[in-house]
Amino acid sequence: MSKRQIFDQVSDMETQIGELYEQLGDLKGKLSNLLEDKHRLEMENHHLRSRLEQADDDFKENEVVKETSNIPGEGYDNLARLYEEGFHICNVHFGTPRQEEDCLFCLEFLNKTKK
């Protein structure tokens, strides 16, 4: 092998090493961008999970309030007692004595407040 061929081979290897170095730099830049994106997405994911957890807690608190507000209260008990004692509780004949028969208006009112 002549000196010229050896020099050409070394020159070609140097060019290839330069190209590989460029490719390595590009890969390093892409890896850096990917790591930044990963970190940003992890932070966003953490933030969204926190918001979801907070919204879930708020929803559960509202559920408890709604469930307790559907329970008939003392007023309902008083009206039911008055009806059982023989008085109308409907808006048509409120407070007047019933004639030993059920009043559809009163019963509808009692059923409406149970729901």
pLDDT values of the chain reduced to their tens digit, one per residue, 115 residues: 899 999 999 999 999 999 999 999 999 999 999 999 999 999 999 999 999 999 988 888 777 666 655 666 788 888 888 888 888 888 888 888 888 788 888 888 888 766 5
Residues 6+ apart with CB under 8 A from 83: 89, 98, 106, 110
pLDDT for 68? 59
Strand-pair partners of 87 = 97
Question: Model's pTM, two decimal places?
Answer: 0.45
Alpha-carbon distance 33 to 11, whole Å? Answer: 33
